[in-house]
Amino acid sequence: MTMRTSRILSLTAAFAVAAATLVLAKDTKTHGKGCCKNEKAIYKAGTVVELSGEVVKVIEAKCEQADQVGIHVMLKTDKETIVVDLGPAWFINNQEEKLAKKDQIVVMGARTVHEGEPTIIARTIRKGDAVLTLRDEEGFPVWRGWRAKPAS
């Protein structure tokens, strides 16, 4: 293999890696909503709505601003399909009640637009008789200062 061919292959590989990185970064950024450090700034108590519908997708995505993984669901209502931001994965995954595709839920949360996409920052999620409280009435996350129970 000539030096020129080797350089061309190296450059092609470098461009492929860069392109793949950009595609992956765009996908995770799309879902990096209220799990981020500025979440209280986008939660406005005056925009709280209650929506009911079916979970069509559970999304675990990295939030670039807060350097953590967040859990979101795509909720299909009678009128729209909308992203619902639940909170950080470490908190959501430690709850007894789990959300899955096809679950029927009722969400109370603040409606906002983040990066041009309609979003609900969830305050509570109701699934059957179970209620998961994620934020207080002002949008302050309940996981601040929260610790998992020690295994018994």
The token pair at 98 is 């789990």
Task: Flag whether 3 is in a domain.
Answer: no
Least confident of 64-73, 88-97, 135-144: 64-73
How many structural domains is the chain composed of? 1
Task: Flag whether 151 is in a domain.
Answer: no
Is the pLDDT at 77 greater than 80, yes or no? yes
The model's confidence at residue 23, banded by pLDDT at 50, 70 and 90, is very low
* Element counts in the chain: helices (H) and strands (E): 3, 6
State the average pLDDT over residues 44-65. 90
Task: Flag whether 146 is in a domain.
Answer: no
Position 127 scores a pLDDT of 97
Q: Residue 92 sits in a domain of what CATH number?
A: 2.40.50.140
Task: Flag whether 55 is in a domain.
Answer: yes
Task: Flag whether 7 is in a domain.
Answer: no
Q: Containing domain of residue 112, as a range?
A: 39-133
Is the pLDDT at 126 greater than 60, yes or no? yes
Task: Flag whether 20 is in a domain.
Answer: no
Task: Flag whether 5 is in a domain.
Answer: no
The C-alpha atoms of residue 105 and residue 121 are separated, in whole angstroms, by 15
Is the pLDDT at 152 greater than 50, yes or no? yes
The model's confidence at residue 4, banded by pLDDT at 50, 70 and 90, is low
Among candidates 29, 24, 39, which has minimal Cα distance to 109? 39
CA distances to 2, 65, 98, 126, 133 from 136, in Å: 65, 23, 20, 15, 8
Task: Flag whether 85 is in a domain.
Answer: yes
The model's confidence at residue 7, banded by pLDDT at 50, 70 and 90, is low
